[in-house]
């Protein structure tokens, strides 16, 4: 995320075309497996009027724009003995061109050690996608995990963590 000092004239900064948040599907049965598409659900159009098409957990990004996309998930240990040091790594995947895009993220539970310094990890996957000439379908996929077996789990304990989301910034080309 870039930063503009207050002494800089910001008159050339643009408004985004739209900001849309996709609420991931919450439930008790979504298991974790490498390569699985994370289940996504309700679209919340926060700014502008972009409401992407969603089919089989893939999001369609129309052509004519740049897109900045962020995704994060919640994970939980249900049948794995409540082990320490659980994690899940995930990424954005270009379904149209069958390629990983952007940077991966790892949401993890540190165990009983200090976790307040927020060091050395990024728990939001990010991608800047150029759709100025052609649109794509993308998904959020699991690429690695340990000691957690449910994702976006909304039964016991879910109240202590946020559930998964994908934030899409639609930017003018």
Q: In 25-173, where do the E strands start and end?
A: 40-47, 54-55, 58-61, 65-72, 75-76, 87-94, 99-108, 125-131, 136-146, 150-151, 165-172
Kindly state the smallest distance separating residue 98's Cβ from another protein, in Å.
25
Kindly state the smallest distance separating residue 163's Cβ from another protein, in Å.
5
Residues in contact with another protein by the rule CB under 8 A: 3-6, 8, 10-16, 19, 21, 23-24, 26, 46-47, 66, 72-77, 82-84, 86, 107-118, 123-124, 148, 153-154, 157-165, 167, 171-173
CA dist., res. 54 & res. 41, Å (int): 8
Complex with another protein: residue 134 or 173, whichever CB lies closer: 173
Kindly state the smallest distance separating residue 40's Cβ from another protein, in Å.
11
Complex with another protein: residue 96 or 123, whichever CB lies closer: 123
CA dist., res. 14 & res. 150, Å (int): 40
- Please state, in angstroms and as integers, the Cα–Cα distance from residue 10 to each residue in 15, 65, 104, 171, following that order: 11, 22, 31, 17
Complex with another protein: residue 56 or 83, whichever CB lies closer: 83
Complex with another protein: residue 98 or 120, whichever CB lies closer: 120
Kindly state the smallest distance separating residue 35's Cβ from another protein, in Å.
21
Burial 83-100 (b: 16+ CB within 10 A, else e): eeebbbbbbbbbbeeeee
Complex with another protein: residue 98 or 136, whichever CB lies closer: 136
């Amino acid at each position: 995320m870039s930063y503009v000092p207050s002494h800089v004239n910001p008159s050339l900064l643009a408004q985004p075309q739209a900001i849309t948040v996709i609420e991931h599907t919450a439930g008790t049965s979504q298991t974790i497996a490498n390569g699985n598409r994370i289940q996504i659900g309700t679209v919340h159009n926060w700014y502008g009027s972009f409401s992407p098409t969603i089919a089989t957990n893939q999001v369609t990004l129309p052509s004519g724009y740049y897109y900045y996309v962020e995704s994060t998930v919640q994970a939980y240990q249900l049948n794995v003995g409540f082990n320490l040091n659980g994690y899940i790594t995930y990424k954005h995947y270009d379904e149209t061109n069958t390629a990983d895009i952007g940077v991966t993220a790892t949401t993890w539970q540190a165990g009983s050690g200090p976790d307040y310094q927020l060091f050395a990890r990024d728990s939001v996957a990010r991608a800047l996608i150029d759709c100025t000439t052609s649109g794509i379908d993308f998904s959020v996929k699991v690429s690695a995990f340990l000691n957690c077996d449910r994702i976006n789990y909304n039964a016991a304990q879910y109240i202590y963590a946020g559930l998964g989301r994908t934030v899409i910034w639609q930017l003018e080309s």
